[in-house]
Amino acid sequence: MTKLKAVFKIVRPVNIIITILSVFVAGVIALNKNFIPIELFWSAVAEAFAFSAGNIINDIFDLEIDRINRPDRVLPGKILKISEAYSLYVVCLIASIIISFMVNLYVFLIIIFTNILLYLYSYIIKKIVVASNLTVALIFASPFLLGALTVGNINGGIIPFVFAFLIHFSREIVKDMEDISGDLSQNFESIPLKFGFANAVKLVIYITTILILFTFYPYITGIYSLTYFLIIFLILIPFLIYVLYKLYKDRSNRNLKRISFQLKLNMIIGLIAIYFA
């Protein structure tokens, strides 16, 4: 049972659920119909396997850093062996490719690209300042394009893609601030290490402000409905402002971890708003 829990933990179930929902929401918006076709379901499953593989290979490459930053993870805690993690990575990788091939050519190519990008990120891109943050934001926003392409209407995924890209970009900078000790020990050049902690906080505030302003665009232009606007205006924006306030007032590692989770929660709120749009 311990091994099973370790497998469940290493694939990041919350991230996988958000990924699947992102593909579904993008597909439903692109179709403009309130149902999930079988192709969309399999696209979401393929993306979930690809992201699971990415999480596993990232933990393998991050083992030494995680001994400092996240000793509770399954590899530093020796709950899973490295060889077992590699085997699980290969299984998820192959599953994502086979399933995507059965959907259509576009989905297959996107999954191949995603798998390559996830591996390159873990191997080398994460060591490149700014590029690492942009890459993660791109990866986590890509399910919206995947869902839209699955049903043949990429335009339906562009707005949620931008929304997800901005919120994940902010979250990755917060995670860099949280991981500063481990990154320093491994000579990683993260944004807070290269440009300073205070400048990293300012960058999160700037990006999140752009995100807040962008959330008005779909309603003002008539793309999304009043329901979307009410959820955004009454829930999402106040929550984002609260997160920025907490970041400005308290920069402790404990609070940064909390803010990282809250930004992920904001992503779910945004998904709900876009779905009801």
Please check whether residue 99 is in contact with residue 114, taking contact to mean a CB–CB distance below 8 angstroms.
Answer: no
Q: What tokens appear for 215 in the block?
A: 């959330």
Please check whether residue 236 is in contact with residue 273, taking contact to mean a CB–CB distance below 8 angstroms.
Answer: yes
Q: State how far the Cα of 208 lies from the Cα of 233, in Å rounded to an integer.
A: 15
Please check whether residue 200 is in contact with residue 177, taking contact to mean a CB–CB distance below 8 angstroms.
Answer: yes
Q: Could you tell me which of 259, 242, 123 has the C-alpha nearest to residue 178?
A: 259
DSSP secondary structure code for residue 156 in this structure: G
Please check whether residue 52 is in contact with residue 11, taking contact to mean a CB–CB distance below 8 angstroms.
Answer: yes
Domains in the chain with CATH codes: 2-275 (1.10.357.140)
Counted residue by residue, the chain has a size of 277
Q: Which amino acid is at 21?
A: L
| Residue 241, Ramachandran bin (φ over 0: left; ψ between -120 and 50: alpha; else beta) | alpha
Helix (H) or strand (E) holding 140: helix 131-150
Per-residue pLDDT of the chain (277 residues; tens, 9 = 90+): 477 787 778 888 888 888 898 899 889 888 877 777 899 999 999 999 999 999 999 888 888 777 777 777 878 777 788 888 899 999 999 999 999 999 989 899 999 999 999 999 999 998 888 999 999 999 989 999 999 999 988 888 899 999 999 999 999 999 888 888 777 766 677 898 888 888 999 999 999 999 999 999 999 999 888 999 999 999 999 999 999 899 888 888 888 888 988 888 888 888 888 888 7
Quick: pLDDT tens for 86-140: 999 999 999 999 999 999 898 999 999 999 999 999 999 988 889 999 999 999 8
Tokens 């904001």 belong to: 266
Q: Could you tell me which of 53, 41, 147, 57 has the C-alpha nearest to residue 99?
A: 41
**Cα radius of gyration (the chain):** 19
Please check whether residue 136 is in contact with residue 121, taking contact to mean a CB–CB distance below 8 angstroms.
Answer: yes
pTM: predicted TM-score of the whole model, two decimal places: 0.86
